Amino acid sequence: MQTNTPSRSTIRLTRRGRLALVATGAVVAGTAVAVPLLIMRDDGAPRPTTLVIPEGRRASQVYTAIDKALELPAGTAKKSVAKARLELPDEAEGNPEGYLFPATYPLGEKTTPEKLLSRMVDTANKKFNGAPVAAGAQRNAMNVYQAVTVASIVQAEASTKADMGKVARVIFNRLERGMPLQMDSTVNYALGRSTLRTTAPDTKVDSPYNSYERMGLPPTPIDNPGEDAMRAAINPSPGDWLYFVTVEPGDTRFTADREEHRRNVAEAGARQRKSGERPEK
């Protein structure tokens, strides 16, 4: 069984990055279509009555969406976190990343950022603190907060719902073997961006979220995962996979063999070049 970590200059564990700007009342890929009713503001312009938070959005994106929906100055929602008295796990140390649960939230005349954030965290606690999640986390030698962290990586890395369980298994297999996760999504989080390409210099960033340089899970979730990702995190698919790469949309290949992964990466690069895209390095 392969237990060595391949050279970063030649091996990319993943392809990832989701450009995501949260929009109210938008049709969001991978989520149900939400078409909010509209009410009229004093100036006669329509105002949305719901706010849609899709799976996988970062806390920073959720704050921006709240400010936009409530027509508040940029940064208002983020500043509201401290006074919202959110019921977060002790491990979170006041950081709601991972617990701003993706769903559709009503917007009333008296809705405030504090109320919205509290509702999101309360929803997450209802979803995550039940017996099934706790038992699933325990089976994988984790606590619930660590399970949410795994789910956040799965949410960012999996191209499809069908791949989520396999991505979760790669994470656990690497942790069990003492290998760095080498997830591009964590590097993107460290750099505050979303991209399909992560360069060798990117993987040297000095950050606790750099899973190329740091062992184990990142210190917090890297986005706000949905229920499918959470189910995958506590019930990973059986398999010995250590690597995966998306060769083309709909074709993500998982393997435990380093050389097979090299060939998959080479094929992915060739297809990208043929289509005029710049291949990952």
Structure token digits, residue 10: 């030649």
User: Is 76 a residue whose pLDDT tops 50?
Assistant: yes
What residues contact residue 206 under an 8 Å CB cut-off, 6+ apart? 213
Segment 148-193, tens digit of pLDDT = 999 999 999 999 999 999 999 999 999 999 999 999 999 999 999 9
Position 29 scores a pLDDT of: 36
Give the CA distances from residue 280 to residues 61, 108, 270, 271, in Å, rounded to whole numbers and listed in that order.
Answer: 26, 45, 10, 11
Segment 92-126, tens digit of pLDDT = 999 999 999 999 999 999 999 999 999 999 999 99
Q: Which of 52-61, 136-145, 161-170, 264-273 has the lowest mean pLDDT?
A: 264-273
User: Is 9 a residue whose pLDDT tops 70?
Assistant: no
Q: Which of 19-23, 75-79, 221-225, 237-241 has the lowest mean pLDDT?
A: 19-23
In DSSP notation, the chain reads ---SPPPTTT--S----------TT---TTS------EEE-TTS-EEESEEE--TT--HHHHHHHHHHHTT--TTHHHHHTTTS-----GGGTT--TT-S--SEEE--TT--HHHHHHHHHHHHHHHHSSHHHHHHHHHTT--HHHHHHHHHHHHHH-SSGGGHHHHHHHHHHHHHTT-----HHHHHHHHT---S---TTGGG--STT-TTTS-SS-SS-SS---HHHHHHHHSPPP----EEEEEETTEEEEES-HHHHHHHHHHHHHHHHHTTPPPP-
User: Which residue's structure tokens are 């990466």?
Assistant: 265
User: Is 219 a residue whose pLDDT tops 90?
Assistant: yes
Q: Which of 12-21, 53-62, 172-181, 214-223 has the lowest mean pLDDT?
A: 12-21
Confidence of residue 274 (pLDDT cuts 50, 70, 90): confident
Long-range own/partner contacts, residues 59-67 (CB < 8 A, 24 or more apart) = 59/95, 59/96, 59/97, 59/100, 59/224, 60/192, 61/20, 61/21, 61/22, 62/22, 62/100, 62/120, 62/224, 64/21, 64/22, 65/22, 65/23, 65/24, 66/113, 66/116, 66/117, 67/113
User: Is 10 a residue whose pLDDT tops 50?
Assistant: no
User: Is 14 a residue whose pLDDT tops 70?
Assistant: no
Position 249 scores a pLDDT of: 87
Confidence of residue 18 (pLDDT cuts 50, 70, 90): very low
Total-model pTM: 0.83
Q: What is the mean pLDDT of residues 68-86?
A: 97
